Amino acid sequence: MKAEIITVGTELLMGTVLDSNSSYIARKLESLGIGTYFKQTVGDNPQRIQASLKTALDRSQLIIIAGGLGPTRDDITKEAVAAALGIDLMIDRAHLKEIETYFQERSRSMTALDQKQAHILANSKTFNNDNGLALGCAYKFPYLDRYSYIIILPGPPRELELMVDRYLLTYLKDEFNQQPVIQSKYIEIKPMGEAYLADKLDELIQNQTNPTIAIYAKPNKLQLRLTATADSQQTAEKLLADLSDQIENCLGVDQLLKEDETLEEMIIHKMTQEGITLGLAESLTGGLVSSSLTTVPGAGEVLVGGFVTYQTSSKYKYLGIDLDFINRYSVVSAEVAQAMAVNCQKKSQSDYGLSLTGVAGPDSLDGHPVGQVFIGLAQPDQQVLIKELNLGSQSRDKIRLLAKEEALKLLASVLK
């Protein structure tokens, strides 16, 4: 069974509205063992909607169309589908009565365009809209050497999602009750190079058949998606569990993030287990790193304290960095980041000292471009790691957020 999703709306093509419907539908189809092979997005144009539908019919058995069911003249999905199939639209009289009642109860006038929301494809199965007025429907018909299915759903996510959950899934289960189970499992991996992870899992990836493995880069972590196809959920879960064990053996359990564990949680938990403490000295981030770590319960066992040394003078006043030293190398430099980390480590009497200094913008500073950041990490053996970032001309908030994330990644990398 091949499924295809067509989302309708010029606003989707223009990027003014984010398409969350197709991902929601695809996840729900997967839970029934129905794979989504294609997705299309088309504007509110009858010819292009018809062309998209005809393309889909030649390659997919189940076609789900979302959007274009409202009461305006550019809501033309049902009309376009009916024209493409050469069938009529009909009015659901019971639902039309509900629409009339809706307007009467609100003392509002009903127009001829409002009646469109009671239209359905002739001889189709109707889906109620419990969060709106536009009906959905399912149309089953012979096409080529098989039966094909066209599902039409409203575009607003709160309407679509409820209609899918309450009516569409039940309909599909009744129609396709022998579908295999498709189940996925996600494994979160601590920060490392994507190519390095692929190399560590190369033998498993090269020999994959069922389940399959996919690698995704995520903020502050990597993610593995394992997908199994089986006759039952129990068998699929067993396949996924066996592959998970193989991955754990390849990487080591210490490289796996616990389910839904954030990078901040991993750092606090690891440092708590090891009895390690941390001091922070932040300039451009202004306390962002401290704030993110202290969202984790138990951070007080790890985080000794922090210095927000935003001004140059505060680096001297609170961290004891000589002003001549700062002027010699510049406040935005590897040397100053190192001094901040070391002095923070000493003054807070912590095992690690983490520092950040840089240019968040909007203007350059002392010849340093916007987005240049230096991160320092003083370790118990006095070796200091320095990481330079060149984040480019982005917004202040984005640069500060990226700097925070890179600082946490650097700290996490030495805790492995």
- Assess whether pLDDT exceeds 90 at residue 263: no
Helices and strands counted in the chain (H then E): 16, 16
Mean pLDDT of the chain: 93
Q: Domain coordinates of the chain in residue numbers?
A: 2-176, 181-257, 263-415
What tokens were used for 396? 């202040």
Question: How do strand 2-8 and strand 181-189 relate by DSSP bridges?
Answer: unpaired
Cis peptide before 211 (omega within 30 of 0): yes
The CATH T-level fold of domain 2-176 is: Molybdenum Cofactor Biosythetic Enzyme; Chain A (3.40.980)
pLDDT digit string (tens) for 98-120?
999 999 999 999 999 999 999 99
User: DSSP assignment of 146-212, as one string?
Assistant: EEEEEEEE-SSHHHHHHHIIIIIHHHHHHH-TTPPEEEEEEEEE-S--HHHHHHHTHHHHHT--SSE
What tokens were used for 193? 């190079």
N- to C-terminal Cα separation, the chain: 44
**C-alpha torsion sign, points 404, 410, 415, 416:** positive
What is the SS3 assignment for 12? helix
pTM of the model: 0.60
User: DSSP assignment of 360-414, as one string?
Assistant: -SSS-BTTBPTTEEEEEEE-TTS-EEEEEEE--S--HHHHHHHHHHHHHHHHHHH
pLDDT digit string (tens) for 382-398?
789 999 999 988 899 99
What is the SS3 assignment for 259? coil
User: CATH top-level class for 263-415?
Assistant: alpha beta
Give the architecture-level CATH label for domain 181-257: 2-Layer Sandwich (3.30)
* Predicted pLDDT of residue 119: 96
Integer Cα distance of 171 and 247 in angstroms: 38
- Assess whether pLDDT exceeds 80 at residue 180: no
Q: Residues 92, 97, 100, 104: what is their CA dihedral angle, to the nearest 10 degrees?
A: -160
Q: Taking a C-beta distance cutoff of 8 angstroms, is the pair 338, 330 a contact?
A: no
Angle at alpha carbon of residue 312, lines to 310 and 318, rounded to 5°: 75
* Predicted pLDDT of residue 317: 96
pLDDT band at 260 (very low <50, low <70, confident <90, very high): low
Average pLDDT on 238-266 reads: 86
Place of tokens 């499924």: 3
pLDDT digit string (tens) for 33-70?
898 999 999 999 999 999 999 999 999 999 999 999 99
173-180's contacts with Cβ under 8 Å and 24+ in sequence apart are 173/32, 175/140, 175/149, 176/1, 176/32, 176/33, 176/34, 179/1, 179/32, 179/33, 179/34, 180/33, 180/229, 180/230, 180/231
**Per-position b or e across 378-405, b if 16+ CB within 10 A of its CB:** beeeeebbbbebebeeeeeeebbbbbbb
Cis peptide before 180 (omega within 30 of 0): no
